[in-house]
Structure 1
Amino acid sequence: MLFAFVCTDKPGHLEVRQSTRPDHVAYLEGLNAKGTLKFAGPFLDDDGKPSASLVVVEAADRAAAALIAEADPYARAGLFASVDIRPWNWVFNKPEAA
C-alpha cells in the first residue's frame, strides 16, 4: 500500500533543513534502492524556499509507514512541526501504467 507523508517544517527552521539535507537525501536514496520510495520533494513557500516535504512510500501498513517517516533524518533533527501520514491511491500517470 502507498502512503503519503505531508511534513510541515517548523517556522524558522530552514537552516535545520539545509544542514540535514545530505543525510535526508542519502536516506531517501536508500529507500529508493529498495523500491520503497515512489517519489519525494519539497513544497516551496512564497519566496521559493522549501517549507515542507511530500514523500510517498510503499509500506505494508500505516505502522510500517510511520517507522519510515520517523527514521528520516529531517524528522530526527526536529525539522517538522507536523507529519501527516495518509494511505494514498496513485490513479493518474502511474509509471507502471505508462
Structure 2
Amino acid sequence: MLYAMIAKDAPGSGQLRLDTRPAHLNHLEALGKKLVFAGALLDAQDQPEGSLVVFEAETLEEAHRMAEADPFVAAGVFGSIEIRRWRLAINTSGAEL
C-alpha cells in the first residue's frame, strides 16, 4: 500500500532545514525500496516550504513510523505532518510502481 506524507515547514525553519538536510537525505536513502518518491514543496520563490514523500508500507502505523524517523521531524523542521493513504492513478514517469 502507498502512503503520502504531506509536511509543511515550521515558520522560520529555513536554516534548520538546510542544516538537517544531509541527515534527512540519508534517512530517505536508508528506506530503500519502501521510498517511492520524495521532494520539497516549493513556495512562489521556489524555496522549500515543506515536503511530499510517498512510502510503501503494510499499514498506516508503519508509514507513521517511517515519517517520524525522519531527522526533519526530530529537528523541528516540520510544523505539521499529514499521512494519507494514496493510490497511483496515472504514471507517465516510466518508473514501475
TM-score by length of 1: 0.92
Over the aligned positions, Cα root-mean-square deviation in angstroms equals: 1.2
Q: Structure 2 stretches of 5 or more lacking a match? A: none
SS in 2 for 1:65: helix
Q: Which runs of 4+ in 1 moved over 2 A?
A: 94-97
Matched, 1:10 2:17: no
1:59-88, Cα deviation, whole Å (9 max, x unpaired): 111111000000000011111111000000
> Alignment length, in residue pairs?
95
How much has 1:47 moved relative to structure 2? 1.5
Return the alpha-carbon distance in structure 2 between the equivalents of residues 54 and 96 of structure 1. Answer: 19
AA in 1 matched with 2:74: R
Q: List aligned pairs for 1:1-98, cutoff 5 A.
A: 1-31=1-31, 33=32, 35-93=33-91, 95-96=95-96
SS in 1 for 2:28: helix
Q: Structure 1 stretches of 5 or more lacking a match? A: none
